[in-house]
Amino acid sequence: MIEEHQLEDIFLSGGMLDKAFDSFEKRDDQLEMAILASRVYNENINGVIEAGTGIGKSYAYLSVALLNALENKEDRTVIATSNVALQQQLMNKDIPTLENALDLSVPYALLLGRGRYVCFNRMMNAVKGFRNESQDLFKDEDSQEEAVYDWFRNTRTGIIEELPQRLTSSAFVKSVRSDKDTCLKQRCPYFDKCFYYNALETASKSRIIVTNHALLFIDSSIRAENGEDFDQSVIIPPYNRLIIDECHNIDKSATDHFSLSLSRQRLAEEYRKLFQMTFRNHQGMHLADILTGMNKRLNDADVRAFITAINQFTSECTILVKSIITENDRKRFSHECLLSDTATDFDGITKARMQEVLAILDEVLRLFRIIMNIAEVPSEEEVYYRMGNSSMKAYERFHELLSLFCEHASHPELVFYYRYDRADDVTLTVSPLSVASRLKENLFSRLQSVLCTSATIKTGKDFSYFLSQVGLDEENLVTGFFPSPFDYSHNAMLLYPAAEDGMNFNISVKAEYADYLANMLVPVLRSTEGSALILFTSIEMMTLVYEKMKDRIEQTVLIQKKGSSTEQLRKHFREDRTSVLFGLKSFWEGIDVPGDALRLVVITQLPFTHVEDCIKRSRSMDLAANGKNPYMSIDLPEMLITLKQGLGRLIRNESDRGIALIADGRARRYMPLIRACIPPYYIPDEEGLTVASFNQRIEDFLY
């Protein structure tokens, strides 16, 4: 039992944190949040808490998790976040700082999915492959390979996200990631140095494990499929307590996890695994050759039939995927559309072609299962067997997806749609309409307690939207709302076009709206002397505005482009304290720039869900079919949460001062709802708040 006085001894004036830090400032809401978190542990219930910027929510829940670990030796807490920066903050700063301040020691560990670690063996083999007899290592000292190897020689964790973003997605890094199918396990010559298995070993001895949302859902799904409870080790060691930070992201993370997809690129990747890979001890052999050679009962006819069938499937399915979206579809929808949106009659035309492809895949899988039916696999061949089994499962997932598409009318609980981010590829996708029941059954109902927290989950008066998204019951649930302690009324000004001169965003008049934004922002940026984050919801609008503004402002303009490094943009923006950053979705949250480098945040349009978001559209149609209002149930709550995230970039500490500007004229209509969800910004003379007055009001506020 965690007693209230234990938490008071930590957070009150004169307490342990006060004695440990000269800069400590008592915050009553931080203590109240910790007390609420302790109820979740003490009473074995669930909790949902919104804690505004500056509350110190990680210290509040960590103090409870640490005290519980000391008092309940059988308990283990998993803390899941969606952000690498927060994982590093918890591991490298918050937990060790609290341990020192509270004079206690609790074993803790960071555990991520296998693919987030570099493989020691693959790296050493890659180095040997790159070695040149006349030089020590790589031919080019400034190459990506050399930069990655330099990091490898110094890293203690082997976590690939430690690398600069420009390197993490490079072909070389992909080739040296840890992979369960190629892992030699104890037979690996570098097993004792393996970053992944060492992380697993450390986690198994820890009382607190920090991980990410993705691994949380993978682990819980495996437990559900295999009927394994949480008192057993799967990927994550046994645990009974869960804290989900940044919980506003779990609906999307879980939806992505439970989705199936197929594209020409994925087809080509799986084909290459079988027919374009060679191995050191099977020089010049493809994986398919190795597998068929291992099965002594196979006849030549089966081998030839398998190769013929898989070639035919890859070819026919590639043609099908390529033709499934017409040019007319691409003109109507920019990046995704529902199966029912396409110009082609799926049930009348496409379905028959898909069934023909499925019949070929049936034969592929029949023969694949014969090949993989090996009575005894030699230990030295086990890695190839695992790779073959993994490949077969990939083709089984392709079969599941294509079968579901053919039966789409019988699955109202699923969303069938096409994504086409690139002009030359299409991805067929099946996603759950809702993840609530899966999260409830696979995760929340099977643990002693779950605490969800974020700075942006409350919409309106309560947490009903979040609860309905993720499947948490209001029974045995406590909630808390702790607003930011920062002085917004004096340090933050909110501007929006309260008068009629504000233009409402409308997708049909993009060029005119871009002109409106450019003409508004040029004088505003002169008033703030740059130091501005300008947030967009579409790359098209951002590009239009940038082209209209780039020659009219003096400051350095940074713009997020496809393939650009968000890490480098953040770094440049922090260092050039008068620069202007044009950002998309990844900059609406997770960027922390305190001080004068960020004095203006501009919301270019209210962030309502994009009209092409197929999952949101399907959820809206489902609600409407059941007599509910999708606008009030989905559109408005989603917009308010995203808006809060964007505005939250402005005030990051108690001395920050700045301006938040919502450019969209629709803000007039939504301002009562917006003000109910955000901190108490200073809003000057709302009746006379015109676009023309913005720059003068900014100068009066800042100077």
**Are both 362 and 510 inside the same structural domain?**
no
Q: What is the mean pLDDT of residues 560-586?
A: 87
Q: Is the pLDDT of residue 136 over 80?
A: no
Identify the band that residue 133 occupies on the pLDDT scale cut at 50, 70 and 90: very low
Domain end among 416, 432, 448: 432
Identify the band that residue 423 occupies on the pLDDT scale cut at 50, 70 and 90: low
Q: Is the pLDDT of residue 141 over 90?
A: no
How far is CA 609 from each of CA 249, 426, 556, 626, rounded to the nearest angstrom?
A: 15, 22, 31, 21
pLDDT more than 90, % of the chain = 74
Give pLDDT tens digits for 27-50: 999 999 999 999 999 999 999 999
Q: Return left, alpha or beta for 271; rule: phi > 0 is left, psi -120 to 50 is alpha, else beta.
A: alpha
Q: Helix H segments across 227-381? A: 250-257, 264-275, 287-294, 300-323, 327-332, 351-372
Which tokens sit at 574?
């922090």
**Are both 132 and 40 inside the same structural domain?**
no
Q: Render 464-493 in DSSP notation, one character per residue.
A: HHHHHHHT--STTEEEEEE---S-HHHHEE
Domain end among 162, 179, 197: 197
Give pLDDT tens digits for 368-401: 999 999 878 888 888 889 999 999 999 999 999 9
Domain end among 482, 515, 542: 482
CA-CA-CA-CA torsion sign (163, 167, 169, 175): negative
**Are both 16 and 91 inside the same structural domain?**
yes
Q: What is the CATH number of the domain that holds 423?
A: 1.10.275
Residue 576, SS3 per DSSP: coil
d(CA 253, CA 259): 10
**Are both 553 and 648 inside the same structural domain?**
yes
Which tokens sit at 384?
């190839």
Give pLDDT tens digits for 615-639: 999 999 999 999 999 999 999 999 9
Q: Helix H segments across 158-212? A: 165-168, 171-176, 195-204
**Are both 618 and 534 inside the same structural domain?**
yes
**Of 403, 537, 425, 471, which is closest to residue 255 (Cα–Cα)?**
471
What is the 3-state composition of the chain as percent helix, strand, coil, each rounded to the nearest 5? 55, 15, 35
Q: What is the CATH number of the domain that holds 245?
A: 3.40.50.300
Q: Is the pLDDT of residue 68 over 60?
A: yes
Q: Is the pLDDT of residue 427 over 60?
A: yes
pLDDT at 282: 53
**Of 70, 67, 64, which is closest to residue 49 (Cα–Cα)?**
64
Identify the band that residue 139 occupies on the pLDDT scale cut at 50, 70 and 90: low
Which tokens sit at 108?
């803790």
What is the number of domains present in the chain? 4
Q: What is the mean pLDDT of residues 1-5?
A: 95
Mean pLDDT of the chain: 91
Q: Is the pLDDT of residue 266 over 60?
A: yes
Domain that holds residue 608: 488-702
Ranges 175-189, 206-220, 246-260: which has the least confidence: 175-189
pLDDT at 688: 73
Neighbour tally for 83: CB within 10 Å: 15
**Are both 643 and 501 inside the same structural domain?**
yes
Contact 67, 197 (CB under 8 A): no
**Are both 192 and 233 inside the same structural domain?**
no
Give pLDDT tens digits for 83-131: 888 999 999 999 999 999 999 999 999 999 999 999 999 999 888 766 5
**Are both 272 and 323 inside the same structural domain?**
yes
Helix (H) or strand (E) holding 218: helix 213-226
**Are both 569 and 680 inside the same structural domain?**
yes
The residue ranking higher by pLDDT, 11 or 169, is 11
pLDDT at 134: 40
pLDDT at 132: 47
Residue 504 per-residue DSSP state = P
**Are both 322 and 452 inside the same structural domain?**
no
**Are both 8 and 45 inside the same structural domain?**
yes
Residue 659, SS3 per DSSP: strand
**Are both 90 and 228 inside the same structural domain?**
yes
**DSSP-derived pairing of the beta strands 658-662 and 492-495:** parallel
For residues 88-112, one letter each, b for 16 or more C-beta atoms within 10 angstroms of the residue's C-beta and e for the rest, the string is bbbbeebbeebeebbeeebebbbbb
Identify the band that residue 668 occupies on the pLDDT scale cut at 50, 70 and 90: very high
d(CA 671, CA 666): 9
Specify the amino acid at residue 126. Answer: A
| CA atoms lying within 13 Å on the CB side of residue 239 | 31
